[in-house]
Amino acid sequence: MTKIVRYLKSLTLNEIRKGLMLTQKYFFKRKFTVRYPEEKTPKSPRFRGLHALRRYPNGEERCIACKLCEAVCPAAAITIDSDVREDGSRRTTKYEIDLFKCIYCGFCEESCPVDSIVETDIHEYHFESMGKNVMTKEQLLAVGDMYEEQIAKTKQEDAKYR
Amino acid sequence: MELLEFLIFDNLIYILAIVLGVILTVAYLTYFERKVIAFMHVRMGPNRVGPRGLLQPFADVLKLLTKEIIFPKNANKFLFLIAPIITLATAFAAWAVVPFADGMVLADINAGLVYVLAMTSLGVYGVIIAGWASNSKYALLGALRSAAQIVSYEIAMGFALVGVLVAAGSLNLSEIVRGQEGGLVHWYIWPLLPLFLIYYISGVAETNRAPFDVAEGESEIVAGFHVEYSGAAFALFFLGEYANMIIISALTALMFLGGWYSPFTGDSWIAQPSIFWFLGKTSIFLYAYFWLRASLPRYRYDQIMRLGWKVFIPITIVWIFVVAVMKVYHVGPWWN
Ligand code: SF4
Ligand code: SF4
């Protein structure tokens, strides 16, 4: 009996009508699409993007070549060589990050005792030829110089939660 | 010679108009489809090429035409190339008998309904040949599914058309439309409601569109019969499929919604029969295609067969009798 009732009910196409009404309702809803290059989604201050090496306000680079970041990096993306500078301080002569190896875990930033290596919130970058995926010390410092304000601001915002 | 002259001077221009019209409609139908489905998914759809993405179809066409046609190893080249042409040619040929408005028809033949039925089902040969010639198991599976599905739904579709034939007493599409003159209540959709639904659903199945798109079934058999096709050959399949969709929608509008007649009665401008009524009614069914696609999941294969054989065919047979009885006793506003 219930079988027959169900059969007759299915002939009214009621279920399909309900489904169609639902999709029709969504047709008129506000769209969620973010029109990317013009609109962007908000980013957390903890966003881990492109790396940068920072300097102190007096222009001295922060990095003291302790190599903690190199040691902690799970992807072995960081390569550091160090030497004694003329003034007797220990500095890096080579500081490279292979962005293809990097998994953007942020451990380098966490491990750094002087807040030198940081991850900025830049995520729109590309490489135009082979080998450009390895960021040199100069490039990293340049990124740091260019975005220092931004970096300082996000670190400040995040500081109270750490 | 006379025949040739007749063909060229009297008909070529109409043929060109119809073919160009259909191709342009197909181009914007793809845009429309992507927009409608996107809106139902709460997205925006294509909006980059040209204002509001309106040039997107042309970008797609250019892309497809500049791509290489790849022939699978050991494929039968002749069959491989003829298949999309069959699909497209039959889809276009069916347009010959469609009356756009009173007297606005390329070939006003008496067996129009049968001709259309023949043309839309010939299209499946393109699908089967494509599946066979591709030398690929997915393509072959798609072709087999498509063949079985079309055979099943053709019957229900044919019976639905018999209902229309009984109601109108003519196979000529223009005559069928003329039988529905006189406003909303005179349309055949009311006495033939079950046949109308079955005809449209079978039409969706016949054009291999969701939820009956098992012949393509991306998630099961990659792309079914056209998995090996690329470039212009794929574009032809695409064109054929969409042209078929338009023709099914147009026929539904002609046979059940009174073609070019206005739903209103009276003497005002809105009650005048015109081609715009016909185009408007056709668009409703085209929209329904996308609406269904956005709403329903794909049918399982055995369920498709069950629906075709155990539900549609019995209903159509019963309803043909009902229509016949109604006609004999001159029921309603339709046959008195
Ligand atoms: S983010 Fe992680 S993987 Fe990338 S360089 Fe730093 S420590 Fe290595
Ligand atoms: S970046 Fe920081 S952790 Fe890495 S070597 Fe320099 S000071 Fe040490």
Tens digits of per-residue pLDDT, A60-101? 889 898 999 999 999 999 999 999 988 888 899 999 999 999
Give the amino acid at B78.
Answer: F
B208: region left, alpha or beta (phi > 0 left; psi from -120 to 50 alpha): left
pLDDT in tens, A97-141: 999 999 999 899 989 999 899 998 888 888 888 888 898 998 899
Interface confidence: ipTM more than 0.90 = no
Nearest CA in chain B to A36: B48
Among partner residues B36, B197, B295, which is closest to A20 by beta-carbon distance?
Answer: B295
Average pLDDT, chain B: 83
Closest ligand 1 atom number to CA of residue A104: 1
Candidates B96, B99, B154; CA nearest to B123 is B154
Q: Is A82 in the pocket of ligand 2 (CB under 6 A)?
A: no
Query: Is A102 annotated as belonging to a binding site?
Result: yes
Report pLDDT for B141. Answer: 85
pLDDT in tens, B210-226: 788 877 777 777 777 77
Residue that has been written with the tokens 């040969």 in this structure = B125
Give the amino acid at A118.
Answer: V
Please check whether residue A29 touches B, CB under 8 A.
yes
Residue predicted with more confidence, B124 or A77: A77
Report pLDDT for A101. Answer: 92
Report pLDDT for B193. Answer: 84
Please check whether residue A23 touches B, CB under 8 A.
yes
Pick among A27, A28, A30, A38 to test the B interface (most B CBs inside 10 A):
A27
Closest ligand 2 atom number to CA of residue A65: 5
Over residues B177-185, the mean pLDDT reads: 78
CA distance B127 to B140: 10
Distance from the B43 Cα atom to the nearest Cα atom in chain A, whole angstroms: 5
pLDDT in tens, B60-82: 888 888 888 888 777 778 888 88
A45's enclosing H/E stretch is none
Query: Percent helix, strand, coil in chain B (nearest 5)?
Result: 70, 0, 30
Pick among B295, B307, B319 to test the A interface (most A CBs inside 10 A):
B295
* The pLDDT of residue B2 is above 70: no
